[in-house]
Amino acid sequence: MPLYEHVFISRQDLSNAQAEGLVEHFSTVLADNGGKVVESEYWGVKTMAYKINKNRKGHYALLRSDAPSAAVQEMERLMRLHDDVMRVLTIKVDKHEEGPSVQMQKRDEREGRGDRPDRGDRGGFRR
């Protein structure tokens, strides 16, 4: 079966338990349609770059799934109809990465963050 990663944003006025309940709800939707959730992560409340439906923040969650396309389409359809879900992004991947996602890693654990040669002279600006 194909592998997918789903990120969705839910409304900021939900409690953490309600936001995590949405993760479980959509995991069962996938399971009922012949798929399975390999891993799920709740990233917490984060500030968005722009307002969506008058909300400046939202609850972010990630689902990594192994499901047929019909199950993914049904889950996305139900997410679009759900009042608490503001945005959904689904990506088909070749394989799932091991370990936590980049959002869950600590800043000092991330690879390749400070060694960019194009940022050495701060772009010509002097202080």
Boundaries of domain holding 31? 3-96
Give me the CATH number covering residue 33: 3.30.70.60
Confirm whether 122 is domain-assigned: no
Pair 49, 85: CB distance under 8 Å: no
- For residue 58, the SS3 value is strand
Confirm whether 127 is domain-assigned: no
Confirm whether 118 is domain-assigned: no
- For residue 41, the SS3 value is strand
User: What is the rounded CA–CA span in Å between residue 102 and residue 116?
Assistant: 18
Mean pLDDT by 10 residues, the chain (127 residues): 90 91 92 91 91 91 92 93 93 81 66 56 53
Confirm whether 110 is domain-assigned: no
Q: How many domains does the chain have?
A: 1
Confirm whether 116 is domain-assigned: no
Name the pTM for this structure.
0.77
Quote the pLDDT of residue 75. Answer: 92
Confirm whether 112 is domain-assigned: no
Confirm whether 120 is domain-assigned: no
